[in-house]
Structure 1
Amino acid sequence: MAIIKPSIPKGTRDFSPAEMVRRNYIFETISSVFRKFGYQEIQTPTLESLETLTGKYGDEGDKLIFKILNSGDFLSKIPTDKLGSQTSTTITSSISEKALRYDLTVPFARYVVMHQNDISFPFKRFQIQPVWRADRPQKGRYREFYQCDADVVGSESLLNEAEFILIYHEALNKLGLKDFTIKLNNRKILSGIAEIIGKPELMVDMTVAIDKLDKIGFDGVSKELIERGFTMADIEVLKPVIMLKGTNESKIENLQFVLKNSSIGLKGIEEIETIFSYLASLRPPTSDLKPLPLELDITLARGLNYYTGAIFEVKTNEVAMGSIGGGGRYDDLTGMFGLKDLTGVGISFGADRIYDVMEELKLFPETSSESTRVMISNFDAVAEKYALPLLGELRDAGINSEIYPTHAKLKKQLNYADDKKIPFVILIGSEEMDRGTLSLKNMKSGDQQKLTIDQIISALSV
């Protein structure tokens, strides 16, 4: 029998125990903030019906959906005389009825429609699960990755948008990020800008171009706008809006003047002001509250065909990295499944990028690399018998504990503890058994103390 070289598919990853502890630290931190704001967790299946996913992400998105071949003889439904004339696209529906989840949003919409009689609206849910995309793997882009989403559907209140800004702020602060920017814009403002220059039909073209301002500068944006059908006169009108600087308040004042003849643009400004008003009420002047790093950014677009109101994006300023979060308001999310006019708003955290940022900045706490808090040594059968009840006491006290599984020399056992980054080792020899006090060794400092098991439990429970 030939030996198979072990490998995994491109765009997927194994995670070591140390990496899993750190990933779970991120997930648990974000989850705790979601729960604090009243969001409840759901999960949806890894597999969805192919028809549930198809047509929801555009033609390019559909190409990236991982299809699953039907069980058994999946070609049996296709007449043999037609097999030669069929393409993979035309026979997909005949040979594949299921697919891997592409994102968490469409499965969430499907869930809401299927369970609409069992859930209370507004419905606030969060979901942290892997998704799959048949994309070309590259640095920072994987075929399997996790999404951390929170959405509320069935509520038009802009209080939800304000609270999402606070969720981003609190979660990222808890994770140790110190310098990041939460960017905010509104689809209606962008529609208003396109309206005042008389090009509402080119609104998407306009936003695709101005969204690149940070990358290609104003000259590059101008060139692209010309290529997309705008005139130099249009660009002269757009320039002061695109290059808008100053405080959020001054930006709003300028926009109110520029958009004074656009009802939809003014509506977008009014929504932004309402969000700011909610934030002022939700954050009374308190010494321990850090200022919100919130910036009104008119060039922010984020998939405009999808969003209908507020748009969010979060960027770290400490590491060269793309966005680490984003989201916005959408209308009729569930309409694709027959439940019309159910508005919603949601955000997502980019967990993989956040991990890379925290790794580079060394933000993971030391305890996040621990799985075992203390190991008991095992020198011989007598010491092992003495140690086992103590191991039970440690675990009953909620302390992650293990015993070295075989009788071995001290150096080997300490090397094992070092490799696993176990911070404490309990040494049990004949002297310890005679006196009833144990030697607790701090693996970092090398210090040892003689303590009873109760004293050890008390010290390690801190």
Structure 2
Amino acid sequence: MAQKPSIPKGTRDFSPTEVSKRNYIVSIMRNHFEKFGYQPIETPSFENSETLMGKYGEEGDRLIFKILNSGDYLDKVSPEELTTINYKKLTGKISEKALRYDLTVPFARYVVQHQSEIEFPFKRYQIQPVWRADRPQKGRFREFYQCDADVVGSTSLWQEVELVQLYDSVFSDLGLNGVTIKINNRKILSGIAEVIGASDKLIDFTVALDKLDKIGEEGVKNEMLEKGISESAILKVQPLFTFSGTIHEKLEKLTALLSTSEEGKKGIEELRFVCDNVTKLGLQKAILDLDVTLARGLNYYTGAIFEVAAPATVSMGSIGGGGRYDDLTGIFGLKNMSGVGISFGLDRIYLVLEELNLFPQTVTSSTKVLFLNFGESQNFEAMKAVTHLREQNIKAEMYPDNAKIDKQFKHAERRGILFVVKEIAGNTFMLKDIQTGVQLSVDINTLIEKLV
């Protein structure tokens, strides 16, 4: 017996229902991206290795899927090198391409490569799969989609305001109430590290602070101590552990805390501009909140930092995030190209909508009416009617085989088809509602009215 086929770990098949629901989310994102002036681009699924390697740190490099050179990929490798355990050197000779790890670095490459064709500021969105050789576990896959929106070529803080609105617009259209858009600023984190005398420990300090909601105050303090941050410095940062109040109140507390840090004060000004204008313009359903412990992507972001939390009724991590970066394209030689962008977590958003039962029934609606097959004598008339219904944007089809009527009925039921046409007599159709069992004899115009 042939072995049952399988798929690689960390990948998934999607059923028609799952694809329909994912397409529903993507279509809403795409609609709002374009409404906000973002233009679609796509980049290849694989890039030259030199484009990707070294851009994500040592850990990221290990998670990049490498592609073996075509043909005899050992051509450039000497017998001596084969016996030497130096995988980095060997990889460079047998693999010159790799699957993309994210959409950001390929986007940076795209901007540099096409800079003479691009009108700046350039607003782009991109919805494509990425691959990571990670250890598969719940909620973490080796192949998954990223949905990004970025604008490059502008330092205006109005872009941050707009991105908050974009988040709100998408989640409101999806029917998600109670989404919290958390905002912070890298300059504020740098300012805090400066005033407590731990500038040299900025990364260690913020990585520990970012875990406050996971390991609690004592856990954060212990981790800071382990990283060499002094007890006196931790004492100065004590107010952050119980940082509460309105955005305005939090900004006032930060102003007092960072009064001696120019970097910190600049971060406060930027945050105040974004928060004040978002508040004045108003949000539909989302909640904006200042979270001073938010430090995602600290090595990458230089200004605003965003993270989106699902409604409190759902146990789920972040469903979106992003921030401001001052030199996206610098890695490819194009300096001083500031940008800001956000990302939507498609898979997590799907799970949230599923748990809250927010997918409209129409999303997964299949064929509306199935014409039963009674043999060649009626098939032409059936297909003629099916064609006419499709022209009216009604999902219709004919059962292809002259099978037993009971089998055809069961086929319609299993597929969730609501109506069947049991019989055709001249210009009259016998329409049956599968759920209620009600049958009607109708002409083509009445048939259309019943199915619309």
Tell me if TM exceeds 0.5: yes
How do 1:54-453 residues align onto structure 2 when only pairs under 5 Å count?
54-283=53-282, 290=284, 292-316=286-310, 317-427=312-422, 429=423, 432-434=424-426, 436-453=427-444
Counterpart position of 1:12: 11
Instruction: Give the counterpart letter for 2:361 in structure 1.
Output: E
Contact 2:183 2:307 in 1 (8 A): yes
- For 1:125, what is the secondary structure of its paired residue? strand
Number of paired residues?
A: 451
Cα distance in 2 for partners of 1:94, 1:384 equals 62
Contact 2:308 2:318 in 1 (8 A): yes
| Distance change (3 Å), C-alpha of 1:265 and 1:443 | farther
Cα distance in 2 for partners of 1:100, 1:452 equals 56
Contact 2:308 2:321 in 1 (8 A): yes
Contact 1:21 1:371 in 2 (8 A): no
- For 1:426, what is the secondary structure of its paired residue? strand
Cα distance in 2 for partners of 1:49, 1:265 equals 39
| Distance change (3 Å), C-alpha of 1:320 and 1:291 | closer
TM normalised by structure 1 equals 0.94
Alpha-carbon offset, residue 281 of structure 1: 4.5
Contact 1:148 1:348 in 2 (8 A): yes
Cα distance in 2 for partners of 1:391, 1:457 equals 11
Deviates more, 1:443-452 or 1:205-214: 443-452
| Distance change (3 Å), C-alpha of 1:96 and 1:397 | same
2:448 equivalent to 1:457: yes
Cα distance in 1 for partners of 2:255, 2:295 equals 19
* Structure 1 residues not aligned, in runs of 5+: 284-288
Residues 203-226 of structure 1: CA deviation (Å, up to 9, x unaligned): 111110111111111111111111
Contact 1:211 1:299 in 2 (8 A): yes
Cα distance in 1 for partners of 2:284, 2:34 equals 21
Contact 1:64 1:133 in 2 (8 A): yes
Alpha-carbon offset, residue 446 of structure 1: 3.6
TM normalised by structure 2 equals 0.96
Contact 2:10 2:136 in 1 (8 A): yes
Instruction: Give the counterpart letter for 1:99 in structure 2.
Output: A
Cα distance in 2 for partners of 1:310, 1:455 equals 58
Contact 1:126 1:151 in 2 (8 A): yes
Alpha-carbon offset, residue 229 of structure 1: 1.5
Instruction: Give the counterpart letter for 1:401 in structure 2.
Output: A
Q: Identity of paired residues, percent?
A: 55
| Distance change (3 Å), C-alpha of 1:82 and 1:234 | closer
* Structure 2 residues not aligned, in runs of 5+: none
RMSD, aligned α-carbons: 1.6
| Distance change (3 Å), C-alpha of 1:367 and 1:264 | same
Cα distance in 2 for partners of 1:115, 1:443 equals 56
Contact 1:187 1:268 in 2 (8 A): yes
| Distance change (3 Å), C-alpha of 1:40 and 1:448 | farther
Cα distance in 2 for partners of 1:228, 1:386 equals 79
Alpha-carbon offset, residue 5 of structure 1: 3.1
Counterpart position of 1:286: none
How do 1:29-68 residues align onto structure 2 when only pairs under 5 Å count?
29-68=28-67
Cα distance in 2 for partners of 1:379, 1:332 equals 68
Deviates more, 1:349-358 or 1:374-383: 374-383
Residues 233-274 of structure 1: CA deviation (Å, up to 9, x unaligned): 212210112321011111111111111111111111111111
Instruction: Give the counterpart letter for 1:385 in structure 2.
Output: F
Cα distance in 1 for partners of 2:177, 2:436 equals 30
Alpha-carbon offset, residue 160 of structure 1: 1.2
Alpha-carbon offset, residue 58 of structure 1: 0.2
Residues 50-98 of structure 1: CA deviation (Å, up to 9, x unaligned): 1100000000000000000001111011122332124322211110011
